[in-house]
Chains A and B, each alone.
Chain A
Amino acid sequence: MSKTLFLGDEAVAQAALDAGLSGVYAYPGTPSTEITEFIQNSKQGKEGKVHSIWAGNEKTAMESAIGMSYAGKRAMVCMKHVGLNVAADPFMNSSITGANGGIVVVVADDPSMHSSQDEQDSRYFAKFALIPSFEPSNQQEAYDITYAAFDYSEKYRTPVLIRLTTRLSHSRAGVERKEARPQNELHIEENPKQFILLPANARVHYRALLGKQEKFEEESFNSPFNKYIDGTDKKFGIIASGIAYNYLMENFEGHKCPYPVLKISQYPLPSKLIAKMVDECETVLVAEEGYPFIEEQVRGVLNRTGNIIGRLSGALPRDGELNPNLVAKALGLPDTYGAPVPELVVPRPPALCVGCPHIDSYLAINEAMEEHGKGKVFADIGCYTLGALPPYKAIYTTVDMGASITMAKGAADAGLRPVMAVIGDSTFTHSGMTSLLDCIYENTSVTVMILDNSTTGMTGGQDSHALGVLGEICKGLGVKEDHIHRITPLKAHHAENVALIKKELEYEGVSVIIPTRECIQTLSRRMKKQQAEKKK
Chain B
Amino acid sequence: MKIDIILAGVGGQGILSIATIVGYAAVKRGMYMKQAEVHGMSQRGGDVQSHFRLSDQEIASDLIPMGKADMIISVEPMESLRYLPWLNPETGWLITNDQPFVNIPNYPDFDQLSAELGKLKNKVVINADKIAKDLGSARSANMVILGAASPYLGIPFEEIEAAVRENFARKGDDVVNTNIACLRAGKEFAEKL
Residues of chain A having any CB pair with chain B under 8 Å: 3, 5, 7, 30-31, 33-34, 114-115, 138, 167-168, 170-174, 243, 246-247, 249-251, 253-254, 323-325, 328, 335-342, 344-353, 383, 386, 458-460
Contact = CB atoms under 8 A, between A and B. Distances in A.
B62 A351 contact: no
Interface residues of B, number: 52
Contact of A386 (B44, B59, B84, B104): B44
B103 A351 contact: yes
B60 A171 contact: no
Contacts of B33: 5, 172-174
Contacts of B88: 338
B44 A351 contact: yes
Interface stretch (B106-114, B134-142, B144-152): B106-114
Contacts of A346: 78, 104, 106-108
Given A250-B65, A339-B89, A350-B42, 7 more contacts: A33-B39, A172-B37, A250-B61, A339-B87, A340-B85, A341-B84, A341-B85
A168 B81 CA distance: 26
A459 B39 CA distance: 8
B85 A31 contact: no
Nearest to B34: A173
A13 B170 CA distance: 26
Interface in B75-114: 78-79, 81-82, 84-89, 92, 103-104, 106-109, 112-113
Closest 10 pairs (CB-CB, A-B):
A30-B40, A350-B46, A115-B40, A250-B61, A336-B67, A249-B60, A350-B44, A344-B108, A171-B36, A171-B62
B41 interface: yes
29 contacts: A30-B40, A30-B41, A115-B42, A170-B38, A171-B35, A171-B37, A172-B35, A172-B37, A247-B61, A250-B61, A251-B65, A324-B63, A337-B67, A338-B69, A338-B84, A338-B89, A339-B89, A341-B81, A346-B104, A348-B46, A348-B78, A348-B104, A349-B104, A350-B42, A351-B44, A352-B44, A353-B44, A458-B40, A458-B44
A253 B59 CA distance: 9
A114 B41 contact: yes
B32 interface: yes
Interface of B: 10-11, 23, 27, 32-47, 51, 57, 59-63, 65-69, 78-79, 81-82, 84-89, 92, 103-104, 106-109, 112-113, 116
A174 B36 contact: no
Give the interface centre of B10, B57, B85 by most chain A CB atoms within 10 Å: B85
A346 B108 CA distance: 8
Contacts of B69: 338
B63 A167 contact: yes
B50 to A, nearest CB: 9
Contacts, number: 155
Nearest to A356: B44
A352 B46 CA distance: 10
Contacts of B107: 346
A3 B27 contact: yes
Contacts of B38: 114, 170
Contact of B62 (A3, A246, A338, A459): A246
A337 B45 contact: no
A115 B11 CA distance: 14
B37 A170 contact: yes
Nearest to A253: B60
A350 B45 contact: yes
A33 B79 CA distance: 27
A342 B39 contact: no
B97 to A, nearest CB: 15
Give the interface centre of A173, A335, A341 by most chain B CB atoms within 10 Å: A173
Contacts of A348: 10, 45-47, 78-79, 103-104
